[in-house]
Homo-oligomer: A and B are copies of this chain.
Amino acid sequence: MDLNFTEEEIAFRDEVRAFFRSAIPDSIRAKVAEGEGLTRDDMIQSQRILNKYGYCTPNWPVAWGGKDWTPVQVYLYQDEMQLANVPSPIAFNVSMVGPVIAQFGSEEMKKRFLPATANADIFWCQGFSEPGSGSDLASLRTRAERKGDKYVVNGQKIWTTLAQYGEWIFCLVRTNTEAKQQEGISFLLIDMKTPGITVRPIITIDGGREVNEVFFDNVEVPVENLVGQENKGWDYAKFLLGNERTGIARVGNSKAKVARIKELAAIEQSGGRPLIQDPKFREKLAAIEIELKALEMTQLRVVADERKLEKGRQNPASSILKLKGSVIQQQLTELVMEVVGPYAMPYQREFDGRNEPVVGPEYATEAAPMYFNYRKVSIYGGSNEIQRNIIAKAILGL
């Protein structure tokens, strides 16, 4: 057992660290550091840089632009990306639909979609959740009826993140209403420009427009857009959701946030001295740092174990990462609120597009919206209640 990184691993880390901090524009990284929303262009610009230098899709098959990295290298890559406040490549492209197409799609489908997906020439969004099916995803009701060489899709998706940017959407649809819930579902790729698709924004409590409803009204989809086999979509979705869960711990992001909190708490005053000198504030931060360190070590253990797992299999411990990772992210947003104190109160998104001066320090403007917005991280990607159900069954055997 040697928990230090090897010389090769350190060299790799230094290489990606240098790359992330030089290749991605500071203006974009500063937005990530402060929790400001990125524009569509920011996301695409950043992803294309990563892709150009081969740093976009390491988890994909090598033939399609992936890397033959060790699990530790993948970890270091993610950690350094997050520490440098580099935007993660669009998750729908790189962590979700890309791996599914690479694993289950036909050669033709791969050629058609994978390079464009890696380079953000297509902006993907995800059509899984429906109004009636939240945690109970398999109860989804959006229908796709086969008519000749097309599917005709009718139904509604909800919580579709960034559908306003989406050029394509990958959907779970019901292709067999007779079969048991999980067995009648297919995985379909749909061009958002197809007639019959309507996107309606859902404004969230932080005032952001991040999620949407997507309505399908007799939307015609060519059958070649079916991924893999008809009625096997649930398997592909499970594969996809497993991939989602590892990244969601976001240890590097939280480490960057801790560092930022220390900087800000050195600026803000409490009782006539910098807040960072307040023993109680320090202890609150230290308590989260301990949890974060434990999470990081646990993640490394999961990463190290990956070598021993069948390729593509998911360590159920990744549910623990999601659970703890989400709570730590949320606690850090609360601490930022505390750092800025009364300056959390002004709602300044109202100013967007206007010219009013910022109230209080610039870094305070996103404190409350981020706190509100981050309540989502224990809800999406399988709520923390669902994660506990999974762990109870898969790990504890209860």
Contacts of A280 in B (CB 8 A): 279-280, 283
Contact string against B for A residues 275-286, beta-carbon threshold 8 Å, 1 for contact and 0 otherwise: 000011001000
Complex Cα spacing A280 to B284, Å: 12
Those of A243-296 within 8 Å (CB) of chain B: 279-280, 283
| Closest A-B pairs by Cβ, 4 of them | A279-B279, A280-B280, A280-B283, A279-B280
Complex Cα spacing A397 to B280, Å: 41
Secondary structure of the A side of the interface?
A: helix
Complex Cα spacing A279 to B278, Å: 12
**Nearest CB on B from A381, distance (A):** 27
Complex Cα spacing A105 to B367, Å: 66
Contacts of A279 in B (CB 8 A): 279-280
What is the size category of the interface that chain A forms with chain B? under 10
Complex Cα spacing A279 to B283, Å: 12
Q: How many copies does the complex hold?
A: 2
Contact string against B for A residues 127-141, beta-carbon threshold 8 Å, 1 for contact and 0 otherwise: 000000000000000
Complex Cα spacing A105 to B283, Å: 59
Those of A268-326 within 8 Å (CB) of chain B: 279-280, 283
**Nearest CB on B from A203, distance (A):** 31
Complex Cα spacing A283 to B280, Å: 10
A-B contacts, 4 of them at CB < 8 A, read A279-B279, A279-B280, A280-B280, A280-B283
Complex Cα spacing A280 to B280, Å: 8
Complex Cα spacing A245 to B279, Å: 41
**Nearest CB on B from A83, distance (A):** 31
Those of A30-79 within 8 Å (CB) of chain B: none
Complex Cα spacing A60 to B279, Å: 54
Complex Cα spacing A280 to B282, Å: 12
Complex Cα spacing A358 to B306, Å: 55
Complex Cα spacing A283 to B281, Å: 13
Closest to A283 in B: B280
Complex Cα spacing A91 to B279, Å: 46
**Nearest CB on B from A398, distance (A):** 15
Complex Cα spacing A121 to B283, Å: 56
Complex Cα spacing A283 to B279, Å: 12
**Nearest CB on B from A277, distance (A):** 14
Contacts of A283 in B (CB 8 A): 280
Complex Cα spacing A273 to B209, Å: 55
Complex Cα spacing A280 to B283, Å: 10
**Nearest CB on B from A196, distance (A):** 41
**Nearest CB on B from A252, distance (A):** 31
Complex Cα spacing A51 to B318, Å: 63
Complex Cα spacing A283 to B283, Å: 13
**Nearest CB on B from A279, distance (A):** 7
**Nearest CB on B from A20, distance (A):** 39
Complex Cα spacing A279 to B281, Å: 13
Those of A58-113 within 8 Å (CB) of chain B: none
**Nearest CB on B from A270, distance (A):** 14
**Nearest CB on B from A365, distance (A):** 31
Complex Cα spacing A279 to B279, Å: 10
Complex Cα spacing A188 to B164, Å: 73
**Nearest CB on B from A86, distance (A):** 38
Complex Cα spacing A279 to B282, Å: 14
